[in-house]
């Protein structure tokens, strides 16, 4: 599907993040901590978006302080926050990322799908381990066309795998679907797809109160809507009503779009393996 069908021009550009909290805390973090990014979308699939470098304040990089080289540890960071070991953290993070790229079925599907679509991923160019605010695990920077893994919060391979898969969905949509990230409905669509394909498994959905073993199918949609709504609120300066309206408007079509994974992952390992086994049908192996 093509999100360009849902065009209502807006003027803000988002930094799309994997948040490190859930429910009300996640909503609070989204509303309080995120600001808008102002830029034009890129034409070339693998070139950074041309935009002014005059002032990066208020672009949402406060949660990603190493973006644009703004982070410099001071004595307080070292003494009271355990900083000063960033290089060691980065090495550990990069090793875990490499392991996920080589072993994770979902990550391998996404890599193959991007390659097949003409957007081959160069890990050293398109994936960066960086220090982040403790409220996030990672994000997708559409200006740089780069995934950020938060080396200080995404410390397990499972978390890194989840962040990579989620952010690869945004990268894939950016590559193949003419997404205008300034458009709230385009944003809602890619967030619906990311939540649908990489979150809201049976166990996590039950633990977060969105589902039960008796009504999983219906409640799965509620979980996806909830995740997408929070993500839109987190990266856009819009009201709850505006975000909800955007999610509801595009939900049916975007929820039905399972490309490139091809199935909803319910949390069982067999789902991962089946998705990977079926990837060749789309030429994504």
Could you list the active site residues?
Answer: 167
Q: Beta strand pairing status for 127-130 and 146-150?
A: parallel
The helix (H) or strand (E) run that includes residue 146 is strand 146-150
Cβ contacts of 65 within 8 Å, gap of 6 or more: 71, 131, 132, 133
CB 36 within 8 A of CB 12: yes
Structure tokens at 168: 């690869």
Structure tokens at 95: 């090793």
Q: What does the alpha-carbon distance between residue 239 and residue 255 come to, in Å, rounded to a whole number? A: 22
Using the structure block, give the residue that is written with the tokens 């505006």. 242
Using the structure block, give the residue that is written with the tokens 């960071």. 77
Number of other CB atoms surrounding residue 68 within 10 Å? 14
Structure tokens at 141: 């920077």
């Amino acid at each position: 599907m093509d999100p360009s069908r849902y065009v209502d021009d807006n003027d803000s550009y988002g930094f799309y993040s994997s948040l490190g909290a859930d429910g009300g805390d996640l909503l609070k973090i989204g509303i309080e901590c995120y600001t808008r990014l102002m830029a034009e979308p890129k034409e070339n699939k693998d070139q950074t978006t041309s935009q002014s470098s005059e002032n990066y304040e208020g672009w949402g990089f406060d949660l990603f302080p190493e973006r644009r080289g703004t982070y410099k540890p001071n004595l307080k960071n070292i003494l009271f926050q355990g900083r000063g070991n960033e290089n060691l953290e980065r090495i550990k993070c990069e090793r875990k990322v490499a392991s996920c790229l080589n072993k994770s079925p979902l990550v391998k599907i996404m890599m193959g799908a991007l390659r097949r679509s003409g957007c081959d991923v160069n890990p050293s160019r398109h994936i960066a381990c960086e220090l982040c605010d403790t409220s996030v695990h990672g994000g997708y920077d559409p200006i740089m066309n780069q995934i950020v893994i938060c080396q200080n919060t995404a410390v397990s391979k499972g978390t890194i795998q989840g962040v990579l898969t989620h952010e690869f969905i945004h990268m894939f949509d950016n590559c193949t679907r003419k997404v205008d990230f300034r458009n709230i409905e385009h944003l809602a669509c890619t967030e619906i797809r990311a939540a649908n394909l990489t979150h809201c498994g049976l166990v996590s959905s039950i633990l977060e109160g969105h589902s039960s073993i008796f009504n999983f199918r219906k409640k799965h949609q509620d979980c996806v809507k909830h995740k997408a709504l929070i993500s839109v609120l987190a990266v856009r300066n819009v009201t709850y009503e505006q975000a909800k309206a955007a999610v509801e408007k595009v939900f049916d079509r975007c929820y039905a779009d399972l490309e490139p994974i091809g199935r909803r992952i319910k949390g069982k390992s067999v789902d991962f393996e089946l998705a990977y086994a079926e990837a060749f049908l789309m030429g994504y192996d």
